[in-house]
Structure 1
């Protein structure tokens, strides 16, 4: 008799794999980057579960990764239909549309995604980058920008853009940052502060003004004063919390506001275009603090890029600023001198800088003793300045070497230099490195906190400060406020900073510097007598005093002169940034006429438009209805472009088509009647073309230059014709 023997381990039942097993296999193939295999497996899964929207998204990814972004779109769109409340499918479709160069569709898709997830900082950022494609073309006749507000400000908004940029990269502030931090710190901490004060910043990448959280800002100021380590976890956490623009709401700026920049906005990308955009919807005043005009007065001591950026900023300031704050009468005079060729000069108010003691002497001494040099009890002289050619450390080092050789090393104290190495410090550092005598007597330190610096002022014999030109010279005030003599050259703003009792030497006169230093080192009685004459009260103005002066200047604005901020007619206006070292009206207007968001930055040839609608705003004083002629010089992008353009004066003119072929330069003429206050030109670049640069820019036409004149100005028309034939 045969027996049926059951196996000890029965075989698993055969049959088709479960949907979950298919999905697991598809995910594994995806993770292995086998996109074709993953696509087949995801399709097999969706045959069983066709409403699983996340897998439709994954299927779209497989098509995209196989080089078929167009084929990915239907899958993302089907997923969006299945999950209308989830932003991810729409977001994925938007990214693909951007890649395909379909900018307007991408902008609309990403805006829908943001509407579904309004709290997403990443989505807010990417939507802001594409705002130039969602704004409809203007259809109104041209109208001049709204007039500036009059009377006391309804609100004070302090722009901290450049300060945040600095603090993202460094912890210990230099002169301009210390001024901003001192004034704003005192203002925000004051119980008498106005109720209408806000902090704002500008994001040049997204043309967005955003609200800076005051509590986070004050925490960063406090940490910057007490420490110098940039890898400190508390510092990193505080700066990250402060400077996350995309996570913060828009700046709550209201009509009648005075927007004040206490720093230097000359390095902020597209700053004035952002200001014009803000002013187009909200009537505000703009006041800027000019700390010095060094890049214009002493360009040889600045980076070439710094000189060019500063000159362009200074030129544009003449068309945008309603008021100027400055730290010295010398700076006010410098500003007036360089601004005079640009037209009426905005009124300037003097804000004398402060040098408060502030810190506990015990805490400051302890912080200073924690530094590697000077050693406890060691005599030293202090030099606080960035190591750069303008501060002329080389001359001070040479003077120190002369003193060592004249008096002997034992009679010459240590020179402690506090500051970061900067522009063209090589000669000074090379002398220091090559001289054993100097290396024994000179120490260079960076990353010194304000607290430790206060301790160094308290312990030093005296200070030395050298420079070719200064707006003020904060270390001079700090030295005198601490009761320590400052040996400084007699020029520029240093004459005012050092007035309470500095020891002056003839500028760039090394023998005179050596003589003054030798006198202070070898004659303690004379040094003590000079110290006793320091007017410490005049030197030690607390930052709250400076803050009150700022508030008074902003609360009672001087009305600017009736500046005809009008485009010069009949003159060729080059749009390129050729790197001139001095500001000019042409430079100012090349910045001023670009309106809206659809422009890239200026380059040597001119400026590229973006995809979408770019606009020129050309203000004039011609009566409405005056026939005008505009000559435009355009550069074609790397691929063919079907450009449309029109003029808007008393009414929008008809669109005119212009086919641009790669490599060509085209001159065209537009005729229109002047509107109320001027003329506008709109350029419709459609979806643009890839420029092929490292920034992956999509561009429309390039604008090389323009000339606007009255139709009956035959001389200007002839000049434009001759230029075209040249």
Structure 2
């Protein structure tokens, strides 16, 4: 068999996931064509799929040797070494790959493995866009799809906007989608062809999660490094709070004069934290507080959310910024049409000949499914024969009481059905066959299930609270989600009065006009275009920190009570360039170096003394030398004087002090460096690299002797109290 035939045979076996057949065909091919680096890579993939890690490593190394200037073979080898737990070798190989081909994949892995920012050369960036460019960040979409194969609310919004921009790429040629790695000072532009492949697949009828992950990896690896510049605009389209801190991802953009905006879905973790996971509420509150000091404008998905943002801003007397509503679409897709052929798959077959009411929503306390169960229980006790209740959605937070109620009543003797992981065809069938839909949520940022119901032509009973009436207008029948007596009469009329329900169907057919994702995309880009002509960015983003103040880092750790007015003094901003997530003991410094940055109330040129309470990691040793200094106005960084040094010992706490002068506009930067090897804390995924942490710091004017004594006594007594 010819070499080309063997190669084609191997490709076919690979595509059919016949790993053994592909291995043999590729091995036979390489016996006659040993210099084909691409097939050595494919051969390595096949061996890796069969858990033949040592053989796969040899294949990848052969490809690396054949193509030392191509970053792709070394990237695959690096991923294999990481999977094998050989993290030091993996880091070295990711560096080799990045030097050969600066890709987003290699960069992200280096950030994770090295635990500190990756130094970039100007030559690494091969894309410089015009000042009219608008960057749209979708990091959390890719992260979400690596963990889930079906889209949730925020991710559906991002996919909808991406589809619009890609469909009108010529009109929106200056609009690009980017990744902004946490702890990095870089932006990575995703290729349109990779995004098109991604959204087409994830919105298709059958989604295999492994294939989806491969598509995501392809998009990451193909991202191109770009250089942001003053005058450009940046919009956070997804979950701004989901990456462990806002400031660490956006201040590098502010420094070059990029205008920053964010799309806010709701403030529910702040305003209705009782319905949320405690950790989410804590992180969201800090991220939103940080963001109000950083973002230059805010877009919201509803007028209700806009009012909540403005109310928060006014409550704490924060600087004004534009808050503009860009309402969402009425449906998950612009192609919603009831189907003539209904698909009663195995998950929903039991409902085929039964009347039912549909509620499509995550099953969690905030969505208020218990309201409907209580109403149906009342109908049954009255001797009525209501339609069945069908809940479609995954279980979420705080649903134990609902689940207990359903268990004790045997799902109201079989009248309540709980379904999840349905195909699009099955969900469409449920909409088409329902009498009406219900959505009794306590609070929403928008209320997409209400719009989806109208787009499907189905009458809807929904909450009268928050943003929901913005979605449904007068085509929806509203209930007070806090008042069951009120809701019983509305639900009774819709469930048992066929003539009334038919009239509501006609009202929807006659008067409903769906807002599409194209409408959202056009509206969003137009409003971003207008706001960027009237708003100027504040390039600082540094937090004001008064002389004589002390910041105890653990005061912001999860488990503490976050100050209600955190947005007035978002102290976490000072740690932006320093470390990892705040913990009960403080904050570990990322890698070998970090900086604390803030704005002082002292005049420029004033000498100040900064006090820092450190703690060392269990593996710290005397080869690790810690030094601290301050940026000096007018002095080159290479010639700065180091004020203080100390050899480290394991598990120790100690106080250090440095002095320096306040820069222009009150700017202060305290730099911390640890020499010597800083190891990873452990070998698993998400391992961090650190040697020293910060538990507390403060400063005074050096000339203020009384304040210096008070500051010294504070740290001394705190140390004695431990």
Say if 2:588 is the partner of 1:600: no
| Matching residue within 396, 405, 415 for 1:441 | 415
Aligned pair count reads 617
Question: Aligned ranges for residues 56-455 of structure 1 at < 5 Å?
Answer: 113-114=96-97, 117-118=100-101, 127-128=110-111, 129-130=113-114, 132=116, 135=119, 154-190=132-168, 193-204=171-182, 209-227=187-205, 230=207, 232=208, 236-244=210-218, 247-252=221-226, 254-255=228-229, 256-270=231-245, 272-280=247-255, 282-339=256-313, 340-341=315-316, 343-356=318-331, 358-359=334-335, 361=337, 363=339, 365-367=341-343, 372-373=348-349, 375-408=351-384, 411-436=385-410, 438-450=412-424, 452-455=426-429
Contact 2:447 2:467 in 1 (8 A): yes
Give the secondary-structure state (helix, strand or coil) at the position aligned to 1:599.
coil
Secondary structure at the counterpart of residue 484 of structure 1: coil
Between the aligned partners of 2:115 and 2:352, the Cα distance in structure 1 is: 59
CA distance in 1, matches of 2:220, 2:143: 15
Higher RCO (C-alpha 8 Å, min separation 6): 1
For 2:510 and 2:263, locate their aligned partners in 1 and report how far apart those are by CA, in whole Å: 26
Q: For 1:686, which of 671, 675, 693 is the aligned residue?
A: 675
| More displaced 10-residue stretch of structure 1: 164-173 or 314-323 | 164-173
Q: CA deviation at 1:133?
A: 7.9
CA distance in 1, matches of 2:632, 2:217: 42
Are the equivalent residues in 1 in contact too, given 2:629–2:659 (CA < 8 A)? no
Cα distance in 2 for partners of 1:174, 1:133 equals: 31
Are 1:688 and 1:698, in contact at CA under 8 Å, matched by a contact in 2? no
1:706 and 2:697 are equivalent in the alignment: yes
In structure 2, distance between residues paired with 1:371 and 1:661: 61
Further displaced range: 516-525 or 374-383: 374-383
Q: 1:694 to 1:426 in 2, by over 3 A?
A: farther
Shift of 1:483: 3.4
Q: How far off is 1:197 after superposition?
A: 1.6
Q: Hey, what's the Cα distance between the residues in 2 that align with 1:548 and 1:84?
A: 46
2-side partners of 1:133 and 1:304: how far apart? 30
Which SS does the other structure have where 1:703 is aligned? strand
Output the TM-score relative to the length of structure 1. 0.75
> SS in structure 2 opposite 1:267?
coil
Q: Per the alignment, do residues 115 and 372 of structure 1 end up closer, same or farther by CA in structure 2, a change over 3 Å counting?
A: closer
When residues 110 and 657 of structure 1 are mapped into structure 2, their CA distance, relative to the original with a 3 A threshold, is farther
Separation of aligned partners in 1, 2:576 and 2:451: 43
Greater displacement, 364-373 / 625-634: 364-373
TM-score, reference length from structure 2 = 0.76
Map of 1:51 onto structure 2: none
1:504-530 deviation per Cα after TM superposition (whole angstroms, max 9, x unaligned): 112322222222111112212223334
- Aligned residue for 2:614, secondary structure, equals strand
Post-superposition shift, 1:667?
A: 2.7
Q: Deviations over 1:423-464 (max 9, x none)?
A: 122222232233236252222221234554444333321111
Match of 2:660 in 1: 672
| 1:293 CA displacement | 1.0
Q: Assess if the C-alpha contact under 8 Å between 1:481 and 1:536 holds in 2.
A: no
Instruction: State the alpha-carbon separation in 1 of the partners of residues 498 and 541 from structure 2.
Output: 60
Identify the match of residue 578 of structure 1 among 544, 551, 557: 557
In structure 2, how many angstroms separate the alpha carbons of the residues matched to 1:433 and 1:623?
Answer: 67
- Partner of 1:266: helix, strand, or coil? coil
Instruction: Report the equivalent of 2:515.
Output: 541
Q: Decide whether the 8 Å contact of 2:338 with 2:428 is kept in 1.
A: no
Q: Which residue pairs with 2:470 in the alignment?
A: 496
Q: Partner residue of 1:637?
A: 617
Residue 646 of structure 1 is matched in structure 2 by 629
Q: Which residue of 2 aligns with 1:720?
A: 711
Return the alpha-carbon distance in structure 2 between the equivalents of residues 434 and 176 of structure 1.
34
> CA shift at 1:648, angstroms?
0.8
Comparing 284-293 and 260-269, the one that deviates more: 260-269
- Structure whose CA Rg is larger: 1
Contact 2:190 2:220 in 1 (8 A): no
Distance 1:335 1:237 in 2: 39
Q: Is the 8 A contact 1:114 1:124 kept in 2?
A: no
Q: Would you say the 8 A contact 1:488–1:505 is kept in 2? A: yes
Match of 2:593 in 1: 613
Structure 1 distance, partners of 2:267, 2:215, is 34
Q: Which structure 1 segments of 5+ residues have no match?
A: 1-79, 137-151
| Partners of 2:673 and 2:86 in 1: CA distance | 19
Matched-pair contact (CA < 8 Å) for 1:114–1:127: no
- Mark the CA change 1:636 to 1:518 in structure 2 (over 3 Å): closer, same or farther: same
